[in-house]
């Protein structure tokens, strides 16, 4: 983990622009995947509508920047708006359990996209541009890398905190958790809010780097899908999982876009990966690794047991 952090931070010293671009994307993916994991992995509520938060952050930044604000200042504003939205969405939808909740979140994402495409002041379906005076790649890079590190640190903290344990309890058995006095809806809302904040900030940074956003680029469903796939394939509910997933998907994206034949199969690959994970190792790459490790440990200790028995 620390190695990764160091790599991210030191890369601009040795790598060229192209690689840095890729790393930026990976950092973005890490933010999204790890933040989502708070609600999806720890609390067990799989939300398929996270692109809404990306979009809220992005649009906030663009709109405010166009009104003269310093883009960096708009980031926390975007985060706050995302948090507010997460509460508005969470209150009714958290009444639903499991798969039903997930489907409802699809609706959220879609509804937001439709509304954003329809409204004038958000530029309609043709999107908005940032005022171009502000583009500075290196600071964008460090901004995103910093956010990624912050997100992972936050997730690590939650994991060992009482809050994190409450979420875990909710994931395992919501009724039992309630019986123990855990106010499940409130905790779900907290998790939702925290992750929304991170994702919203990420969205703002996205706008800063790409300089142009549209409902199609920030609100679309495939984005929500990728946000969910990364932690699931990497290892849902773990700290390392989403990061691994983000790196894997980042790599896949690059390869897919580069190869004309493979490009048409991206859905196939995503879907296939999802299916494989669900069928064989629901805990993703991390789960697989754990399984292999236990197998190996058992094999290593067998000779010892045999000699004891004899």
Partner 1 sequence: MSYGLAVIYGVMRIINLAHAGLMMLAAYVTLTLNTRFGLDPFLSLVVVAPLFFGFGVVLDLTLIRRLPRGGTGPSMQSLLLLFGLWLVLQNLAYVVWGGDTQAILTPYTMSSVPLLGERYGVPLLLVFAVSLASLVGLTIVLRRTFLGKAIRAVTQNRDAALLSGVNAARISAVAFGLGTAFAAIAGTMLSALYAFTPDFGRSLLLKAFCIIVLGGMESFTGVAIGALVLALIENLTGAYTDIPTSFQDAISFSLLVLVLVVAPNGLPALFRGFSRRAVAR
Write out the residues near partner 1 by the rule CB under 8 A.
44, 46, 91-100, 102-104, 106-108, 110-111, 114-115, 117-118, 174, 178, 184-185, 221, 225, 232, 264-268, 270-275, 278-279, 282
CB 172, min distance to partner 1, A: 12
How far is residue 21 from each of residues 5, 8, 27, 75, 154, measured CA to CA in Å? 16, 12, 10, 20, 25
**In whole angstroms, how close is the CB of 80 to partner 1 at the nearest point?**
22
- Cα gap 287→241, rounded to integer Å: 9
Q: Which is nearer to partner 1, 46 or 77 (CB)?
A: 46
Cβ closer to partner 1: 159 or 226? 226
Q: At closest approach, how far in Å is the CB of 203 from partner 1?
A: 20
Residue 102: which of 84, 89, 112 has the closest Cα? 89
Residue number, 247 or 274, with CB nearest to partner 1: 274
Minimum distance, C-beta of residue 45 to partner 1, in the bound complex (Å): 9
Alpha-carbon span 215 to 194, nearest angstrom:
23
Q: Is the Cβ of residue 264 or residue 305 nearer to partner 1 in the bound state? A: 264
- Nearest Cα to 143, choosing from 274, 12, 284? 12
Do residues 43 and 171 make contact, with C-beta atoms less than 8 angstroms apart?
A: yes
User: Which residue, 130 or 166, is less far from partner 1 as judged by CB?
Assistant: 166
Whether 26 and 246 have beta carbons less than 8 Å apart is answered as: yes
Q: Given CA atoms 197, 198, 204, 207 in this order, what sign does their dihedral have? A: negative
Q: How far is the CB of 286 from partner 1 (least distance, A)?
A: 16
Gap between the Cα atoms of 225 and 243, Å rounded: 16
Question: CA-CA distances (angstroms) from residue 285 to 75, 116, 272, 288?
Answer: 33, 36, 15, 5
Nearest distance, CB of residue 90 and partner 1, angstroms: 11
Nearest approach, Cβ of residue 143 and partner 1 (Å): 32
Name the token pair of 23: 């790393």
Q: What's the CA gap between 194 and 160, in Å, rounded?
A: 16
Between 121 and 132, CB nearer to partner 1: 121
Nearer to partner 1, 73 or 267 (CB): 267
| Bridge partner list, 128 | 213
């Amino acid at each position: 983990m620390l190695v990764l952090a160091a790599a991210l931070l030191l890369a601009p010293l040795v790598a060229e622009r192209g690689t840095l671009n890729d790393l930026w994307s990976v950092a973005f993916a890490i933010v999204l995947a790890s933040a989502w994991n708070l609600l999806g992995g720890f609390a067990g509520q799989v939300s398929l509508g996270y692109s809404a938060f990306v979009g809220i952050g992005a649009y906030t930044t663009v709109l405010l920047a166009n009104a003269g604000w310093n883009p960096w200042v708009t980031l926390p504003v975007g985060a706050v708006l995302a948090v507010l939205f997460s509460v508005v969405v969470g209150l009714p939808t958290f009444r639903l359990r499991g798969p039903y909740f997930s489907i409802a979140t699809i609706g959220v994402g879609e509804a937001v996209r439709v509304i954003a495409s329809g409204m004038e002041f958000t530029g309609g379906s043709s999107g908005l541009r940032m005022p171009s005076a502000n583009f500075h790649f290196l600071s964008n890079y460090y901004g995103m890398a910093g956010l990624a590190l912050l997100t992972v640190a936050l997730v690590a903290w939650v994991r060992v905190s009482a809050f994190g344990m409450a979420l875990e309890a909710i994931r395992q058995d919501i009724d039992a958790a309630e019986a123990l006095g855990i106010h499940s809806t409130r905790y779900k809302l907290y998790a939702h809010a925290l992750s929304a904040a991170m994702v919203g900030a990420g969205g703002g940074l996205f706008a800063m780097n790409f300089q142009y956003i549209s409902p199609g680029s920030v609100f679309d469903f495939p984005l929500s899908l990728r946000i969910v796939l990364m932690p699931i394939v990497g290892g849902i509910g773990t700290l390392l999982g989403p990061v691994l997933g983000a790196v894997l998907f980042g790599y896949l994206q690059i390869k897919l876009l580069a190869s004309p034949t493979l490009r048409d199969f991206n859905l196939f690959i995503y879907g296939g990966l999802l299916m494989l994970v669900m069928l064989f190792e629901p805990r993703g790459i991390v789960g697989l690794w754990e399984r292999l490790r236990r197998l190996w440990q058992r094999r290593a200790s067998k000779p010892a047991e045999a000699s004891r028995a004899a």
